[in-house]
Amino acid sequence: MYPIILLSVLGVVTLFLGFSKSKNVLLPSTLMFLIIALIGNFLEWNQGPLLYFYDMLRVDNLSLAFNGIVLASAFMIVAISGGFQNDADSEPAEYYALMLLSLVGAIMMIGFQHMIMLFIGVEILSIAMYVLTGSNKRNLRSNEAALKYLLMGAFATGFMLFGITLIYGATGSFNLTQIQAYVTTANVAAPSYLLYAGLLLLLIGMLFKVSAAPFHFWTPDVYEGAPTIFTAYMSTIVKTAGFAALYRLLDHTFAGAYSYWWIVLAIVAVLTLIVGNIGAAGQSSFKRMMAYSGISHAGYLLIAVTAISQPSQSAIVFYSIAYSLATICAFAVLLLVSREKANNQQLGEDYDAFNGLAKKNPLLAFVMTVSMLSLAGIPLTAGFWGKFMIFSSAADRGIIWITIIAILMSTVGIYYYFRVILASYLKEGDLTEIRVAPIFKAVMVFATVLTILFGLVPGIFEGLI
């Protein structure tokens, strides 16, 4: 609960800090605010499940862990965001404030105990993202992306609200505990179709937010059009929050109706995997590939949600960490390379932009390689254990066929992730040495070391949640 209050206040403070117009104030203070929020978050660790705001928000170790992932990702992304201060007519204070405020939405989604809280959380997060997507005001692509995201997002929110309404109609409550009580008893007596229709509509809305197929069509365009830093933000924070919310919704509340929704999610998961991986294999733009890769990872996470259980809970947490670390690293390198290319008036977001990266920038090439290996799920990286946990949670439930499809698809994944590695090590290019700010370097090294560390000793987090 502390981070919600802290971030709301500090977000507004950040807006006022914008008056200073100084580079040296905004970035450090935003980072400091995030650290304060992180500390505030973990103050409640192991305090047991707590309910706040008239039972609308629930704080337990799981939600705190997700908050931690989201806040730490935000910290890393803000740390590498120095770039948009160079733009003459940008408003960095507004961007930073929007990021901080959108985190409030993410945290509400993660800890919701009441449907209204879920809705408000989703809206706070989404509206901030619509604005940030279009923040490159003079770029047509960025504007198109923002409009597309807004229109599609509004539709999805509509579905969600409709779903919540139907569930309310069936159960007479917005509160998860009471809904759960209803589901458990109603399931025994007579199934209520109102409830299931509502659940389905609600799921559509949520699946849209995590860009699962067939609700993924906005993702490639929006991810490609948005400024890279916000693409990184969207693909890590929005996704993590979305899955946390999905898990919270389905784990206890609708556990009684498992036999109704599991097949829906299973089919969506398989579709998402296929669309994401096959789509990514055909791209020539790295950024667009990362968008499809984001879709495919949503597919893996959906497997864990489908196989909902105790092991799948830690699988989702671990996978989110592995995925966020690798994705942030990948976008960090992309940011540097494409900025360098843009200075030389070249296209900077294709695979070809990475040609010969290793020669002059061995650190960047190494960071990129580790993050690609992790995303591809190669052993000795965090991504491997993420996949391992997800597959084993599915196997534990006895859903082997999904695992086999996921495995076929992850071999496709190796193909497109390795193209970047091949380009940076084995192809000739004209990249010169890229100057990397110390904080940038620190974030990349930190994330890379963590990725390898989790690959070697994945047990560090065991038993914490």
For residue 279, what is the DSSP state?
H
Binding residues for other proteins, total number by CB under 8 A: 27
Does position 400 interact with other proteins (CB under 8 A)? The reply is yes
Interface pick for other proteins out of 425, 440, 450, 451 (rule CB under 8 A): 425
C-alpha to C-alpha distance for 242 and 121, rounded to whole angstroms: 10
The span of 250-258, 281-289, 414-422, 440-448 binding other proteins (CB under 8 A) equals: 414-422
Quick one: 74 or 394, whose CB is closer to other proteins?
394
Quick one: 264 or 281, whose CB is closer to other proteins?
281
| Residues in CB range of 398: below 8 A, 6 or more apart | none
Quick one: 123 or 352, whose CB is closer to other proteins?
352
Does position 403 interact with other proteins (CB under 8 A)? The reply is yes
Does position 429 interact with other proteins (CB under 8 A)? The reply is no
C-alpha to C-alpha distance for 138 and 89, rounded to whole angstroms: 10
In angstroms, give the least distance from the CB of 458 to other proteins.
Answer: 6
Q: Are 47 and 24 in contact (CB under 8 A)?
A: no
Does position 267 interact with other proteins (CB under 8 A)? The reply is no
The span of 159-167, 246-254, 344-352, 393-401 binding other proteins (CB under 8 A) equals: 393-401
Does position 461 interact with other proteins (CB under 8 A)? The reply is no
In terms of DSSP H, where are the helices of 134-227? Answer: 140-171, 176-188, 193-209, 218-225
Quick one: 343 or 411, whose CB is closer to other proteins?
411
Q: Is residue 85 classed as helix, strand or coil in its secondary structure? A: helix
Q: How many CA atoms lie within 13 A of 57 on its CB side?
A: 21
In angstroms, give the least distance from the CB of 292 to other proteins.
Answer: 18
Does position 235 interact with other proteins (CB under 8 A)? The reply is no
C-alpha to C-alpha distance for 415 and 292, rounded to whole angstroms: 13
C-alpha to C-alpha distance for 54 and 44, rounded to whole angstroms: 18
Q: Which of residues 90-119 bind other proteins (CB under 8 A)?
A: none
Interface pick for other proteins out of 414, 439, 445, 452 (rule CB under 8 A): 414
The span of 47-55, 292-300, 384-392, 433-441 binding other proteins (CB under 8 A) equals: 384-392
C-alpha to C-alpha distance for 209 and 282, rounded to whole angstroms: 24
Per DSSP, what are the bridge partners of residue 112?
A: 57
In terms of DSSP H, where are the helices of 344-399? Answer: 357-360, 362-376, 382-397
The span of 20-28, 251-259, 327-335, 417-425 binding other proteins (CB under 8 A) equals: 417-425
In angstroms, give the least distance from the CB of 367 to other proteins.
Answer: 17
Does position 51 interact with other proteins (CB under 8 A)? The reply is no
Phi/psi for 435 (5° steps) reads: -80, 125
Q: Which residues of 221-236 are buried (b: 16+ CB within 10 A; e: fewer)?
A: bbbbbbbbbbbbbbbb
C-alpha to C-alpha distance for 223 and 206, rounded to whole angstroms: 18
Interface pick for other proteins out of 318, 391, 440, 454 (rule CB under 8 A): 391
Quick one: 165 or 309, whose CB is closer to other proteins?
309
The span of 118-126, 201-209, 273-281, 451-459 binding other proteins (CB under 8 A) equals: 451-459
Strands annotated E in 42-159: 50-52, 57-59
Does position 49 interact with other proteins (CB under 8 A)? The reply is no
CA 141 from centre of chain? 22
Interface pick for other proteins out of 12, 32, 39, 426 (rule CB under 8 A): 426
In terms of DSSP H, where are the helices of 18-60? Answer: 23-42
In angstroms, give the least distance from the CB of 388 to other proteins.
Answer: 8
* Residue among 309, 313, 218 nearest 255 (CA): 309
Quick one: 82 or 429, whose CB is closer to other proteins?
429
Q: In this structure, what token pair is assigned to residue 124?
A: 């706070």
Q: Is residue 112 classed as helix, strand or coil in its secondary structure? A: strand
In this structure, how many other beta carbons lie within 10 angstroms of the beta carbon of residue 68?
A: 17
In angstroms, give the least distance from the CB of 221 to other proteins.
Answer: 29
Does position 309 interact with other proteins (CB under 8 A)? The reply is no
Quick one: 12 or 400, whose CB is closer to other proteins?
400
Quick one: 292 or 425, whose CB is closer to other proteins?
425
What's the Rg (C-alpha) of the chain?
A: 21
Does position 407 interact with other proteins (CB under 8 A)? The reply is yes
The span of 67-75, 110-118, 387-395, 437-445 binding other proteins (CB under 8 A) equals: 387-395
C-alpha to C-alpha distance for 123 and 365, rounded to whole angstroms: 38
Q: Report the interface residues with other proteins, using CB under 8 A.
A: 378-380, 385, 388, 391-392, 395-396, 400, 403-404, 407-408, 410-411, 414-415, 418, 422, 425-426, 457-459, 462-463
